[in-house]
Structure 1
Amino acid sequence: MGRVTERRRVLRIRDGAVSARPDTLVAEEPLEIRLNGRPLAITMRTPGDDFALAAGFLVSEGVLGRAAELTSIAYCAGATADDGTGNTYNILDVKLAPGVPVPDITLERNVYTTSSCGLCGKASLDAVRTSARWPITGDFALTPELLATMPDRLRAAQRVFDRTGGLHAAALFTPAGELLDVREDVGRHNAVDKLIGRALQQDLLPLSEAVLMVSGRASFELAQKAAMAGIPALAAVSAPSSLAVDLAAETGMTLIGFLRGTSMNVYAGERRIALPDGAGQTDSAGQTVKTGPQMS
């Protein structure tokens, strides 16, 4: 297994004082995912939870939905480092259970793993609509006060960030605010895949009673992964993209951005936001509009 962190020499300059010292950095290495022996995708990731990462990626691609559809995940025994010193743990093979359809996707066809996939917005939305196994459900209500606690709790649960300052994180919460799981990775999409993959391995999909909290922005890719796992609410500390908002609105997902303290923007799925009695939003004409279930 590769190391999560590595040490590098750094020249440190502080207020005119210069010193040389070792610094702890987050590790970043490529991971090749093979499906039934065929190359499927390559992603840059922080080593750790690689099996969950691969499983979650395949959920996002519509290949897997239940633990029973997965026979095994294993590092490829023949994968060796360039200097011939042994297994690099950077290539793994996922074997599907008999009867599970093998998708017509290979590494040569460049399976997209980033938001810069080149697909137009409509094609991207249609792809999620046609491949998602579960509709977005979940009739719970989230208070702004509860949502406001999630970023700090996510940050407090990051074990490697304190040593490196260079990792994204994703967490699953219950609607009542219970922290279910946290994963870290140099790639925000990988952190989400690790969460979803662990849920698949425990046969917990769809995650219809969960809130996904991410440490960065809410891209279309993250909204797509949430939708494919049946997650009804996505919250981010930074901005969403326009296509992420479109996807959330189309699927019925609640999408919250700029979640910082008690301030936040709700871009879609307002019905899951519980406001105090008498609270509402004003439209462009200054009229008050009730939003979500009201609290007594």
Structure 2
Amino acid sequence: MDRAGVAVRADGIRDVQRALPEEVPVAMVYDGSTQAVMMATPMDIADFAHGFAFTEGAVTALDQIEGFELAEHPAGIEARLWLRPDRRDAIAARRRYMAGPVGCGLCGIDSLEEAVRPLPHVGGDLRLAHAEIAGATDRLRDCQPLHDKTRATHAAGFLRPGEGMVMAREDVGRHNALDKLIGALLRQGIDPAGGAIVMSSRLSVELLQKCAVAGCPMLIAVSAPTAHAVRLAEGAGITLAVCAQGDGFVLYTHLQRVVPEVSDVA
């Protein structure tokens, strides 16, 4: 939406009109029971719901979701999923109710163990060239129309060797943007193992966890990682390429996936 404001600058004060991103409560409802409530940008909610269910362990494959619908209310949006009966025990084991602010992807978990849950090891033969990695965040910026309007959103994109940025999703929350991207990849039958996820943010634990669960072997970001994210990436077999801004990047883990020339491995 557009909102009037007052811009205060060294050379004076003037009225301005700025586009601001919306954020609304999105309830993830599994078989009639609310599992989580996240504050999110109300676009690509189907991707968000499917990606969230996958990265948070409600399902391990999308065919375990037997039904889906969106229900809009004055107070927000319900993303209603009906799951295969055998997934109910998995949900009970990872029960959480979250009123999630956009800066946090771990709010409301039941125990410290859940915050550092074991991650799958990511293998595969992905190779990306120096130039592809260095230019990845610039390519992501070309896929952020909402950010262009508002200057207030994050993005997650999927980079494939020799193809560039093939998909991107935006949200006020960086972890929400990543869930939307992973959901979109899975719904379109695109294997996350075939490329790198690119983030417009710093890399923290929950982003690394979601990347590992999705089976993506490389995570590229415009900013730096936390120390714990690096430790998790090392153990999970994920390559971290950070501070990627046109002329170069910094590598922390599993350097073998980065090659001088463009790879033809997709």
Pair in the same fold by TM > 0.5: yes
Match of 1:32 among 27, 34, 42: 27
Deviation at 1:267, TM superposition (A): 1.0
What TM-score, normalized to structure 2?
Answer: 0.87
* SS of structure 1 residue aligned to 2:20: strand
Note the alpha carbon deviations across 1:150-184, whole angstroms, 9 max, x for none.
Answer: 11110011111111111101100112243221000
What does 1:65-144 correspond to in 2, within 5 Å? 65-76=60-71, 80-81=73-74, 88-102=75-89, 103-104=91-92, 105-108=94-97, 114-115=105-106, 120=112, 124-125=115-116, 127-129=117-119, 132=120, 135-144=121-130
SS of the residue corresponding to residue 193 of structure 2 reads coil
Matched-pair contact (CA < 8 Å) for 2:50–2:62? no
What number of residue pairs does the alignment pair up? 257
Against the structure 1 CA distance between its residues 64 and 204, is the aligned structure 2 distance closer, same or farther, given a 3 Å change threshold? farther
Cα 1:90–1:117 change in 2 (3 A) is closer
Q: Is the 8 Å Cα contact of residues 241 and 249 (structure 2) preserved in structure 1?
A: yes
Give the AA of the match of 2:22. A
Q: CA deviation at 1:263?
A: 2.3
Q: CA deviation at 1:64?
A: 1.9
- The aligned residue for residue 16 of structure 2 is 21
2:190 paired residue number: 204
Residue 197 of structure 1 and its aligned partner are, at CA, apart by: 0.8
Q: Deviations over 1:195-248 (max 9, x none)?
A: 11112222435x211100000101111111010000000011101011211111
Provide the secondary structure at the position in 1 that maps to 2:135: helix
Checking the alignment, whether the CA contact within 8 Å between 2:157 and 2:165 is kept in structure 1 is yes
Which of 59, 63, 67 lines up with 2:58 in the alignment? Answer: 63
SS at match of 1:19: strand
Pick from 191, 194, 204: which aligns with 2:177? 191
SS at match of 2:182: helix
Q: How do residues 1-296 of structure 1 correspond to structure 2 at under 5 angstroms?
A: 6-76=1-71, 80-81=73-74, 88-102=75-89, 103-104=91-92, 105-108=94-97, 114-115=105-106, 120=112, 124-125=115-116, 127-129=117-119, 132=120, 135-205=121-191, 207-275=192-260
Q: What's the % identity of the aligned pairs?
A: 30
AA at the equivalent of 2:204: S
Quote the offset at 1:67 in angstroms: 2.5
> What letter is aligned with 1:234?
L
Q: Cα distance 1:96–1:117, how it changes in 2: closer, same or farther (>3 A)?
A: closer
Does structure 2 conserve the Cα–Cα contact (< 8 Å) formed by 1:235 and 1:255? yes
Higher helix share: 2
Does the 8 Å contact 2:167/2:181 carry over to 1?
A: yes
- Aligned letter for 2:2? R
Query: Could you list the per-position Cα deviations for residues 52-95 of structure 1 after superposition, in whole angstroms to 9, with x for gaps in the alignment?
Result: 1111111111222322111222123xx642xxxxxx55222111
| Counterpart code for 1:29 | V
Q: Which runs of 5+ in 1 are unaligned?
A: 1-5, 82-87, 277-292
Would the alpha carbon gap of residues 7 and 109 (structure 1) be closer, same or farther in structure 2, given more than 3 Å must change? Answer: closer
Note if contact 2:47-2:180 (Cα within 8 Å) is conserved in structure 1: yes
Distance 1:263 1:53 in 2: 31
Which secondary structure state, in structure 2, belongs to the residue aligned with residue 13 of structure 1?
strand
Cα deviation, residue 98, structure 1: 4.3
User: Larger RCO: Structure 1 or Structure 2 (Cα < 8 Å, ≥ 6 residues apart)?
Assistant: 2
Please say if residues 70 and 95 of structure 1, whose CA atoms lie closer than 8 Å, have aligned partners that are also in contact.
yes
Q: Which amino acid aligns with 1:60?
A: T
1:108–1:194 distance in 2 versus 1, CA, 3 Å: closer
In 1, Cα distance between equivalents of 2:114 and 2:43: 33
Task: Report the secondary structure of 2:243's partner residue.
Answer: strand
